[in-house]
Chains A and B, each alone.
Chain A
Amino acid sequence: MSAARPAARPPQGVRASRWGAWLALALGSSYFLLPLLATFEFSLRMQRGVYSFEAYRIVLSDPLFQSTFSYSIVMALLTIVVGALLVVPTAYWVHLRLPRLRPLVEFITLLPLVIPAIVIVYGYLRMYNSSALIPLTGSATATDFLLMCSYVTLSLPYMYRAVDTGLRSIDVRTLTEAAEVLGASRYVILRSVIFPNIRAAILSGAFLTFAVVLGEFTMASLLDRPSFGPYLQLVGANRAYEPSALAVIAFLATWASMGLIQLFGRSAHTRPGPT
């Protein structure tokens, strides 16, 4: 590919470069679009001889689908709220008072990309088993809490990076001092000054978290909670056409989250600076 000429001046080189670019694009899009097309086509094949939405009808009316899907949505929302409550004050405080701790905090938030999810959940199962000091796998509610914490952990890299970028784009120190002069407490500053200013950044982190949590399999499966990921796997192992319908639904959900990130990301860029 590199033999083609990216930014060459002569028209001949430009043409070669553009052809190469179109070719790369065409090959790339066919690899990426074919599986989506095939999944959609497959999901319509349930009734012999005709295309129908039968598989979707069956999936959507499956009570197990409804319960696992709503479980995962609630889980994702809780993860977003807890993640934001954990990350925003920390990132704010590091920006304002502890800039020398920034490398450490940044490093910790990147760790979930280093430690595979399966290893983290393995550690949970050993450390929080029913005979341990903190038996978080002892009851269903406690395990739900543990699962949510594991999702907050998974979302740390996205959430922290989004919030950190948001904080960099505003003048944290001036805003804080102005609010302090007006007599605002730390809590009020965070809630009414910092939070609204980086709302777009938090939302973009939130949608990414939503997309990651919705279909997450490893943690939920090993903690044995009734979420959407393990349900997908179960259906996949036992049914023919329904999995494709589910994959289409999952893909649409991911796509919607990413579309919303783009939307809010753009409004974050065009947002005027602090006034």
Chain B
Amino acid sequence: MQGKTLDLSLLGVVPFLAFALLFMLLPTAYLMLGAFQDAQGAFTLANVAGLFEPAVLEAYAISFKISLASTAIAGVLGFALAWATVLGRLPGWIRPTITTFSGVASNFAGVPLAFAFLATLGRMGLVTLLLRNCCGINIYATGFSILSFFGLTLSYLYFQIPLMLLIITPALDGLKTEWREACACLGGSSLQYWRLIAIPVLAPSLLGALLLLFANAFGAVATAYALTGSSLNIVPILLYAQIRGDVLHNPNLGYAMALGMIVITGLANAGYMLLRSRADRRLR
């Protein structure tokens, strides 16, 4: 380990790189290659073309819709909450409380989250019963179900909103009071300040945060699986079923689905990283 030369000092990162290769890069690469091979191992584009079969395409469409809906709503609400905590002149203890809670809630995805929403808005849930007994509103009679698209989006918001808040808070912190004062001195209104100064400055951070939220929703499995079983046909659930029992009757089509997921989350994350570095430069 007495590496004086460059070659020897590179040895220090070998364990890490080996681990990353064995347990992340190679397994992923294996699937990527498999997506372009047929059962005999010859090159083919049939699997990728198979992604456009109605059943698979529909899964992608529903996944897209849920991810988009939860991202859009969480984007607006998370931003509003972040704005309230950073710039809303609330008592000092509120901000650390909200940040800590967001840390918990953004990690409270998965199976327990599904249980929480079943206990809230399921057929026997607290809110369902309260609405029925106090207000005479039977939400299940209106076609609502927690096991539906709407219900899943609502429960995704539980980890999406805190994530938005956590990502966007530093950007809001970076807004300088001088800008606002300068705008006011020049006779600008509050609306003009937001439209012409704050939003353009925040734009890369905002867009980046939304992309990250989208990727986060797209890859989530456990909440959806625990909430809806396999009744809602979204990509991670279809892939889960495919891994368990080859429901598509074509292993290589499963690889192509994995490839599709990585392409989508990868693009979203690449966009996030690009925009974040741009935002960092602007807020410096």
B88 and A211 contacting across the interface, CB-CB below 8 Å: no
What total count of A-B pairs have CB within 8 Å? 274
A contacts with B: majority SS? helix
CA distance A86 to B83 in the complex (A): 38
CA distance A202 to B162 in the complex (A): 23
Contacts of B127 in A (CB 8 A): 34, 38
A212 and B107 contacting across the interface, CB-CB below 8 Å: yes
Contacts of B100 in A (CB 8 A): 258-259, 262
Query: Does chain B have a CB within 8 A of A101?
Result: yes
Query: Does chain A have a CB within 8 A of B170?
Result: no
| A6-B261 contact given A123-B30, A217-B110, A233-B226, CB 8 Å threshold | no
Listed A/B pairs (19) with beta-carbon separation below 8 Å: A8-B184, A18-B88, A22-B90, A35-B120, A38-B127, A93-B12, A98-B12, A115-B266, A117-B219, A118-B221, A119-B262, A122-B258, A123-B26, A124-B27, A153-B24, A229-B110, A236-B118, A246-B115, A258-B107
B116 and A39 contacting across the interface, CB-CB below 8 Å: yes
B119 and A247 contacting across the interface, CB-CB below 8 Å: yes
Interface residues on B, range: 35 or more
Of the stretches B40-48, B52-60, B235-243, the one at the interface is B235-243
A7 and B177 contacting across the interface, CB-CB below 8 Å: yes
- Which of A98, A232, A255 contacts B9, CB < 8 Å? A98
A97 and B9 contacting across the interface, CB-CB below 8 Å: yes
Interface residues of B in 178-193 (CB under 8 A from A): 180, 184, 190-191
Contacts of B134 in A (CB 8 A): none
CA distance A121 to B221 in the complex (A): 12
- Which of B10, B116, B199, B265 contacts A247, CB < 8 Å? B116
- In the complex, residue of chain B having the shortest beta-carbon distance to the beta carbon of A18: B89
- In the complex, residue of chain B having the shortest beta-carbon distance to the beta carbon of A107: B273
Contacts of A35 in B (CB 8 A): 116-117, 119-120, 158
